[in-house]
Amino acid sequence: MSRKAAPPWKTDSWFVSPWNFVNEVTADFRPPSRLRIHDVTLRDGEQQAGVVFTRAEKIRIAEKLAEVGVHRIEAGTPAVSPNDEAAIKEIVKRNLGPEVFVLSRCMIDDVKRAVDCGVDGVTIEIPSSEHLVEHSYKWSMQKAIDLSIKATQFAHEQGLYVSFFPVDATRSNIDWFLQLIERVAAEGHMDALGLVDTFGVLSPHGAAYYTRTMRKRIAKPLEVHFHNNFGMAVANTVMAVLEGGEVIHSTITGIGEGGGNCPMIEAVMALRILYGVEADLKYELFTEVSELVSTLAGRGPNRPFVGEETYDVESGMVVSWHRNSRNEYPTETVPILPSLVGHRDPRYVMGKKSGIDSVAIWAEKLQIDLDKEQGAEVLRRVKLYSHDVKRQLTEEEFKSIADDVKAGR
């Protein structure tokens, strides 16, 4: 006599609500036949202010991610620093199993760096809301479109898998956004479309609408990249997967810019146990990989709204966005004013992911006069120093570097 199959809500390993599986709940679900995980811990996770992974630590985390069975590793952004580029190349060289991707801005030079690293694919980001393009990038909309078309086509010609990554899509005008996506698909190239909620401002129902709308209009795989500023990233990711999202972009522990990224473990376990959607990972290694990332990061994700460093910015690109828009458009890159919850204003911190605008801001504050070449050299040394000490710089350390550069030392 054969043993009766266990119901999905009660097995030897878990016991959850049977209500999750009644037809009235599941009738409209359209999950993918195969769910894939695109881990962004080494890139977007490290963009959290104060998180610094050394070259050796990035390789160690990549090895553990491969052991867990993630399908892709986004190993970083080659343009961040020579150490990051070297780490990416080493991860590729080790042939760990998962595909290796990097993030590129919509610039040919960034894509060339990706090609030089030998990666399998590239996530090409472009601002996709009119207000972010105009207020934070200070670009014309036509420039954004032209750069997207050229960069994605070039990446395709180089044999890279192209995941098109439209930044701030969820605050854009939907008609404009669809025009942008359809033009890039027709005139440039995309192998997949990233559904991006850069500032974590979607509701679960908005996430379902977003995915459903894109699935009807774009005949490409959909990749879900949702941030956690309202604590909704897991719920939003689940809703998007149930509408047909095929790839989850997430970080171990949920570290990341602002309120953090979607935490992979929570999302994967919710989909597996509450919805019966499998990612085919080695779940028994989740505690190990979480402890490893937490230890090497030196912290967990910021708490939405009230975390001490939730509003702080280190990433050079985001500092530039915020600097360009903060006075006239204060909610452009900080969608919730910190004062709404009694928090202090954002700080521009100095570290491995900083850019030239950060150097200019700090130099002005400390009354240090740097020309263009000196500023670039200070930034180079800042990145190396932050990598070596695994933390942000103090004002005294920055001033010491700047003084050495000015003195020609």
104-156, pLDDT tens digit by residue? Answer: 998 999 999 999 999 999 999 988 877 887 777 777 778 888 988 999 999 99
What value does the mean pLDDT take over residues 186-197? Answer: 96
pLDDT in the model for residue 327: 87
Please enumerate in sequence order all residues whose Cβ is within 8 A of that of 328, keeping only pairs 6 or more positions apart, or say none.
135
Alpha-carbon dihedral 259, 261, 265, 271, rounded to 10 degrees: 110
Note the helical H segments in 126-201: 130-131, 141-157, 174-187
Residue percentage of the chain with pLDDT more than 90: 84
Q: For residues 397 and 64, is the Cβ–Cβ distance under 8 A? A: no
pLDDT in the model for residue 179: 85
Q: Report how far apart, in Å, the C-alpha atoms of 113 and of each of 84, 104, 105 are.
A: 11, 9, 11
Mean pLDDT is lowest, of 285-294, 325-334, 386-395, for 325-334
Average pLDDT, the chain: 94
Cα 222–Cα 143–Cα 249 angle in degrees, nearest 5: 25
Right CATH for 30-297 from 3.40.50.150, 2.60.40.10, 3.20.20.70, 3.40.50.300: 3.20.20.70
| E strand spans, 41-80 | 72-74
Determine which helix (DSSP H) or strand (DSSP E) holds 241, and give its type and residue range: helix 233-242
What value does the mean pLDDT take over residues 27-56? Answer: 96
| E strand spans, 262-399 | none
Phi/psi at 165 (5° precision): -125, 85
> At residue 176, does pLDDT exceed 90?
no
How does residue 3 score in pLDDT terms, banded at 50, 70 and 90? low
Rg of the Cα trace of the chain? 21
> At residue 253, does pLDDT exceed 60?
yes
What value does the mean pLDDT take over residues 195-205? Answer: 97
User: What are the residue ranges spanned by the domains of the chain?
Assistant: 30-297, 316-406
> At residue 2, does pLDDT exceed 70?
no
Distance of CA 349 to the CA centre of its chain: 19
Cα 103–Cα 105–Cα 106 angle in degrees, nearest 5: 125
How does residue 1 score in pLDDT terms, banded at 50, 70 and 90? very low
pLDDT in the model for residue 59: 98
